[in-house]
Structure 1
Amino acid sequence: MAEGSLFGDALRHPPANIDAERALLGAILTNNRAYRDVEELLGPEQFYVAIHGRIYEICQQIIQTGREADAVTIRDHIEGDPLLGRKQAWEVLKEITTAMVGLTLAKSYAVSIHDAWVRRCLFKACSETLDRCCRPGNDVAADIVDGLENGLLELARGTDEAEPTVSLAMSMHQARKAAVEAARRGTGLAGISWGYRALDRMTGGLMPSGMYVLGARPAMGKTALGFGIAVRSAAMGNSVLFWSGEMTAPQLGARAGAAWANLCTQSVFTGRRYDIPEDMETGEREILSDFQWRDLEAGERAAASLSLEIDTRSRITVARLRSRARRMARSKRGLDLIVVDYVGLMSAGSVYEDQRIYERITKVSGQLKQLATALMVPIVVLAQLSRETERREDKRPMLSDLRDSGALEQDADMVMLLHREHYYLRKQLDAGLTQKDRESMEDFANRVSGLEQRTRMAEGKADVLIPKNRQGPEGTCHLHFTNRTTWFRDTFEDENGPAWIVPDQGASG
């Protein structure tokens, strides 16, 4: 049976509808209005017969310049073209013009040609996958699946028919209807909650199909904030998928446990107390007390009610993320938000592109935006900023610090930049100041004292700068960061209070 199946596959031909190709081209050459009916649906590359695609492309060029495309003008362009093969230009044009059966059927021809092209693309993807499965080599099964999924994702981006246009009145009606629904929800949000009041007030929530880029330099806490958004948004009743390319699930769980039990993350990793000094004689630290173990267990119970799934597969492609996201979307709880930590650790699915950082991130960024649109869920994408911030005296990040990261800035509906001044002040203080030339001892002492005071005042403060926002104002949100637990909170929250509010308690975090 297996041998017969393979033999049968060898006799199969790529799908094509040559009659439809000739009929459509005949309709266009007879009346150029036929081209206007199909231009949004069809491209030259979708024709099976190469010379047909070339003729369609020439028709595009002629018609778009306001001239008339007919058999006479086309013949001058294709005469002697290698794509004609053994035929003459007049022979091909005669086949086309005699095949035309009606202008009203032009769009039907185009749909048939488009459908055959999609089938050929699938035929090619499946054939290549079959070859990789049977060819001796280093490909592992996971790589083959990844390649197929990535190819299908790229195909999916080009297979949708053109969306119909919408009148201004209808678009205003849709906007008003969405506003009425938002008002009825009683949250004051147009989208789902970030889990942080400061971000909710500034943005109106996370909007469906929106792509939100959160950029930061290392050590600013972008993973902590991204994970905090995932957890606290889930606590508001949303279903969230969190992908991490640099942390394991137990490491993320330790962070959540530390925040809930008000312990430093080291205590959760080691099971030892860091809130009291180590033993003077042995140098060892006490094991966590019973109440601290109970607090960790209480955190587990609080997390059990949250719809938050953690994916830690390394070098994931958008195709693989999309597969998991779609499964969640089809589940009973659905899918409301995706958080990606971080885009620089994702793969474009190609060894060639993965070796070129800019091209890789550009491709991944476009795919993530397409994924958000396809699933109608917001995606928060974490990104690492360039080193330009470190070279400036003012360390506050700027939008230009993101521009080396492919097309992220262009694709994003909103860009957020995380900044904690305390980190840089502490670093400067620890490095020590040196007395300047002609600086008196008193002035030097005052400069050191001023730096120490600024460092104390900045402790725990975090700014989320919003330099780009397509749907609202730009500005700055203020949050509180607890370094010991690596957790972000709203500024009005008690540092010792709950890390997130359990849904049945009915309050927002």
Structure 2
Amino acid sequence: MAEGSLFGDALRQPPANIDAERALLGAILTNNRAYRDVEDILEPEQFYVAIHGRIYEICQQIIQTGREADPITIRDHIEGDALLGRKQAWELLKELLVCNVDLTVAKSYAVSIHDAWVRRCLFKACSETLDRCCRPGSENAADIVDGLENGLLELARGMDEAQPTVSLAASMYQARQAAIAAARRGNGLAGISWGYRALDRMTGGMMPSAMYLLGARPAMGKTSLGFGIAVRSAAAGNSVLFWSGEMTAPQLGARAGAAWANLCTQSVFTGRRYDIPEEMETGEREILSDWQWRDLEAGEKAAAALSLEIDTQSRITVAKLRSRARRMARSKRGLDLIVVDYVGLMSAGSVYEDQRTYERITKVSGQLKQLATELMVPIVVLAQLNRETERREDKRPMMSDLRDAGALEQDADMIMLLHREHYYLKKQSDAGLTQKDKESAEDFANRCSALEQRILATEGKADVLIPKNRQGPEGTCHLHFTNRTTWFRDTFEDENGPAWTTPEQEASG
């Protein structure tokens, strides 16, 4: 049976509908209105017979210049073309005219030709995958799967039918209906909640199909804020997929546990207390108290009510992320948000592109934007800024710090830049100030004192700068950051309060 299957595969021919190609071309050459009915469906390269695709391309060029495409105007363009083989141009054109179909069925013929092209692409992708599976070499199974998934992702994008045009009046009606729906929800949001009121007020929530870019330098808390958005948005009732390329699930769980139980993250990792001094004689720290263990267990129960899935597969491609996201979207809870931490750790699915950071991130950025549009969910993409911030006296990040991040700046619907001035001031203090030439001792002492005062004034403060926002205003959102638990909160929240709350808890409390 296995032998018969292999023998059958060898005899299979790539799918094609040559009769439909002839009939459609005959219809176009007889009446150019047929082309207007199919121009959004077909491209020249989608014809199986190369000379048919060439004729369609010539018709396309002639009609788009306002002239008539007919056998006479076409003949001069294809006469002597190598694609004709042994045929004369007039012989082929005669065959096409004989096969002519009525205008009413031209569109269905175009759909049939497009369908055959999609099947050929699948045929080719599967055949290439089969060859790679049987070919001895250094490729492992994961590389082969990545190649197939990326090929299918590119094909899926090409399958989408062109979006119909919409009149201005219809688009205004859609916007008004969306506003009515948002008003009825009672939370004042046009999209889903960030889990942070400051961000919700500034942006109106995260909109479907939008890509939000969160950029920061290392140690600013990029992962903490991204994970906080995932957790707190899930607590607001949304279903969230969080991908991390640099942290494991237990490490992320430890952060959430520390935030919920108000413990130092190190305490969650070690099971020992860092809120009291170590023992003088042994230098060891006490094991967590019973009430602290109970708080961690309570955090697990609170998390069980959230629809938040964590994926930590390293070097993931957008094709794999898409597969996981689609599976989650089909589940009972659905999918409302994707958070990617961070884009620099994703793979483009190509060894060539992965070796070139700019090309890799450009490709991944475009794929993520398309994924958001396909699934109609917002995607929050975390990115690392370049070192220009470190060289400036003012450490506040700018959009230009994304210069090396491919097309992220162009693809993003909104850009957020995370900044914690306290981190840089503390770093400056720890390095020690030096007295400047001709600076008096008194002035030096005042400068040291001013630095310490700024450190105290900025402790726990974090700014989310929004220099680009296609859906609303630009500006700055202020958040509170607890270094001990590595958790972000709104500025009005109690640092010792719950790390997240559900709408039901807010209503009852």
- The answer to whether the superposition gives a TM-score over 0.5 is yes
- Aligned twin of 2:111: 111
Q: Could you tell which deviates more after superposition, 314-323 or 497-506?
A: 497-506
Q: Secondary structure at the match of 1:157?
A: helix
Question: Following the alignment from structure 1 to structure 2, what is the Cα–Cα distance between the partners of residues 8 and 473?
Answer: 62
State how 1:29-48 maps to structure 2 within 5 Å.
29-48=29-48
Count of residues in correspondence between the two structures: 509
What residue number does 2:2 align with?
2
Cα shift at 1:503: 4.9
The corresponding residue for 1:483 is 483
Deviates more, 1:170-179 or 1:76-85: 76-85
Other-structure match for 1:27? 27
Secondary structure of 2:455's match?
A: helix
Contact 1:501 1:508 in 2 (8 A): no
Match of 1:228 in 2: 228
Distance across 1 between alignment mates of 2:30 and 2:56? 13
**1:165 corresponds to:** 165
Q: CA deviation at 1:74?
A: 2.6
| AA of the residue aligned to 1:19 | D
- The aligned runs of 1:119-198 (5 Å cut-off) are 119-198=119-198
Are the counterparts in 1 of residues 237 and 502 from structure 2 also a CA contact under 8 Å?
Answer: no
SS class of match (2:328) = helix
The aligned counterpart of 1:399 is 399
Structure 1 residues 208, 26: closer, same or farther in 2, change over 3 A? same
The runs of 5 or more residues in structure 2 that have no matched partner are none
**Partner of 1:317 in structure 2?**
317
**In the alignment, is the contact (CA less than 8 A) between 1:305 and 1:502 conserved in 2?**
no
CA 1:204 to 1:61, structure 2 compared with 1: closer, same or farther past 3 Å?
same
Higher mean C-alpha displacement, 94-103 vs 424-433: 94-103
CA contact 1:239–1:333 (8 Å) conserved in 2: yes
Cα pair 1:199 1:477 within 8 Å, conserved: yes
CA distance in 2, matches of 1:405, 1:33: 46
TM alignment of 1:450-469, pairs within 5 A: 450-469=450-469
Secondary structure in 2 matching 1:286: coil
Cα RMSD (Å): 1.7
Q: CA-to-partner distance for each residue in 1:101-135, whole Å, 9 max, x for gaps?
A: 23333222211111110111111111122222233
Letter in 2 for 1:56: Y
User: What residue identity is the alignment partner of 2:331?
Assistant: S
Aligned to 2:339: 339
Q: Higher mean Cα deviation, 114-123 or 435-444?
A: 435-444
Shift of 1:49: 1.1
SS of equivalent residue, structure 1 residue 158: helix
The residue aligned with 1:213 is 213
Paired-residue identity, % = 89
The alpha carbon displacement at 1:207 in A equals 1.2
Q: Deviations over 1:172-218 (max 9, x none)?
A: 22222222221121111111111000001011111111111111111
Report how far residue 26 of structure 1 moved.
Answer: 2.4
Contact 1:236/1:508, CA 8 A, preserved across alignment: no
* Distance (Å, rounded) in 2 between the aligned partners of 1:455 and 1:61: 67
Cα deviations across residues 367-424 of structure 1 (Å, max 9, x unaligned)?
1111111111111111111222222221111112223212212221111111111111
For the 8 Å contact 1:195–1:508, the answer to whether it is kept is no
Residue 53 and residue 475 in structure 1: after superposition, are their counterparts in 2 closer, same or farther (change >3 A)? same
* Displacement after TM superposition at 1:326 (Å): 1.2
Distance apart, 1:270 and its partner CA = 0.8
Q: CA deviation at 1:450?
A: 1.5
TM-score, normalised on structure 2? 0.96
Deviates more, 1:368-377 or 1:89-98: 89-98
Change (3 A) 1:92 1:300: same
Give the distance between the partners of 2:507 and 2:58, measured in 1 at CA.
63
In structure 2, the residue matched to 1:263 is: 263
Distance 2:507 2:83 in 1: 69
Aligned to 1:492: 492
Task: Give the Å deviation of 1:321.
Answer: 1.0
Q: Is 1:448 equivalent to 2:462 in the alignment?
A: no
How many angstroms does 1:307 deviate by?
0.9
Moved more, 290-299 or 194-203: 290-299
Matched with 1:327 is 327
- Check whether the contact 2:359–2:406 (CA below 8 A) recurs between aligned residues: yes
Runs (4 or more) in structure 1 with deviation over 6 Å come to: none
Aligned to 2:303: 303
Q: How far does residue 165 in structure 1 lie from its aligned partner after superposition?
A: 2.1
